[in-house]
């Protein structure tokens, strides 16, 4: 009786002998040996090959085993082909929105008197506030803001404040500034205080002045003090006060100095640069008739 190892060796030897015999027979059938008349037989066309269930790529084998189609990776993109992100269409803006953008650019250029980069950045931030209030610009992609920054830069490039201010920095500052804006132009705390000042009766201290605009400026200062709290300083830039009162920023600055001389306002700190860093004020608490 043969042991298991001997039976396996005998079966293996017999299988190899059968395989060698089959290969020899196949060679004779397909004419690989010389014919009887001495002429060489033409090679036959290969016949149908027996199905081999293990043939094919690894993916095809997985398909046969699991019954699912093999995964095919997408063809590589041709060199230079634009990505989906680059081909994202820019949203079409209405003619009204385009006109409002052009008006905002013209209204928020840095002054020719400003010489610091900070003045240009301040003008760019006021532009961001103006854009925030334009219908049709809510949620626009950065590409739209970048194009607006380029237009603003082209209009302001001759201003001294833009010296050394690269267009790449301008685009980034407008994009980030637009995202940081909390109040659109006309909707901030100063505008809200100004609206209240126009609704309230004229304060007693304001009646000392002849011009209605100066009286309104006094009322605005009182509302700004209420908004900041008793004794707390608050900012007011002449370039903000002027447009609210319908006068130039130079005139607004003169009237603010008058209120300081008259003891209505106390100057806590003065703006460092032209057009930036608004001066800080507070009402003189000793003047009882400052309270309406």
Residue from 182, 187, 86 nearest 143 by CA: 86
Cα dist. 185→128, 133, 134, 289 in Å? 9, 6, 9, 32
First to last CA, the chain: 123
pTM for the structure as a whole: 0.45
Q: Alpha-carbon torsion 50, 53, 58, 59, what sign?
A: positive
Which of the residue ranges 52-61, 135-144, 225-234, 282-291 would you say has the lowest mean pLDDT? 52-61
Rg of the chain over all Cα atoms, to the nearest angstrom: 43
133: left (phi over 0), alpha (psi -120 to 50) or beta: alpha
Cα–Cα distance for residue pair 151/13, rounded to 1 Å? 87
- Looking only at Cα atoms, what is the longest distance across the chain? 137
List 257's β-bridge partners, or say none: none
Q: List phi, psi (to 5°) of 259.
A: -65, -30
Cα–Cα distance for residue pair 191/213, rounded to 1 Å? 15
List 266's β-bridge partners, or say none: 282
Residue from 242, 244, 238, 251 nearest 277 by CA: 238
> What would the pLDDT profile of 31-68 be if each residue is shown by its tens digit?
444 444 444 444 444 445 444 444 454 445 435 544 54
Tell me: pLDDT of 262 over 70: yes
Count CB neighbours of 38 within 10 A. 6
Domain ranges of the chain: 95-180, 189-290
Residue from 116, 237, 236, 131 nearest 176 by CA: 131
Residue, of 248 and 23, whose pLDDT is higher:
248
- Token couple for 170: 């301008």
> What would the pLDDT profile of 96-112 be if each residue is shown by its tens digit?
889 989 999 999 998 88
Residue from 113, 119, 108, 114 nearest 277 by CA: 119
> What would the pLDDT profile of 201-252 be if each residue is shown by its tens digit?
999 999 999 999 999 999 999 999 998 888 888 888 887 888 889 999 899 9
Q: Are 174 and 152 in contact (CB under 8 A)?
A: yes
Domain topology for 189-290: Arc Repressor Mutant, subunit A (1.10.10)
Average pLDDT across the chain, whole number: 75
Q: Are 201 and 216 in contact (CB under 8 A)?
A: no
Cα–Cα distance for residue pair 118/165, rounded to 1 Å? 10
């Amino acid at each position: 009786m043969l042991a298991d190892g001997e039976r396996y060796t005998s079966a293996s030897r017999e299988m190899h002998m059968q395989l060698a015999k089959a290969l020899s027979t196949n060679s004779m059938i397909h004419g690989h040996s010389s014919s009887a008349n001495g002429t060489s037989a033409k090679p036959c066309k290969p016949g149908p090959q027996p199905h081999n269930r293990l043939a094919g790529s690894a993916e095809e084998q997985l398909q046969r085993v699991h019954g699912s189609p093999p995964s095919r990776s997408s063809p590589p993109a041709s060199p230079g082909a634009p990505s989906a992100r680059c081909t994202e269409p820019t949203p079409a803006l209405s003619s009204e929105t385009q006109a409002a953008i052009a008006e905002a650019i013209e209204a928020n250029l840095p002054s020719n008197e400003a010489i610091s980069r900070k003045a240009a950045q301040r003008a760019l931030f006021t532009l961001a506030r103006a854009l925030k209030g334009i219908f049709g610009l809510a949620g626009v992609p950065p590409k739209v803001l970048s194009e607006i920054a380029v237009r603003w830069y082209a209009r302001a490039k001759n201003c001294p404040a833009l010296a050394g201010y690269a267009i790449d920095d301008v685009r980034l500052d407008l994009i980030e500034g637009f995202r940081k804006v909390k109040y659109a132009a006309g909707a901030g705390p100063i505008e809200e205080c100004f609206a209240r000042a126009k609704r309230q009766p004229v304060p007693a201290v304001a009646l000392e002045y002849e011009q209605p605009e100066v009286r309104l400026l006094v009322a605005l200062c009182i509302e700004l003090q209420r908004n900041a709290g008793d004794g707390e300083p608050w900012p007011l830039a002449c370039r903000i006060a002027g447009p609210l009162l319908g006068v130039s920023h130079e005139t607004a600055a003169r009237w603010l100095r008058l209120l300081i001389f008259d003891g209505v306002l106390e100057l806590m700190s003065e703006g460092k640069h032209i057009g930036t860093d608004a001066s800080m004020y507070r009402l003189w608490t000793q003047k009882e008739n400052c309270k309406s």
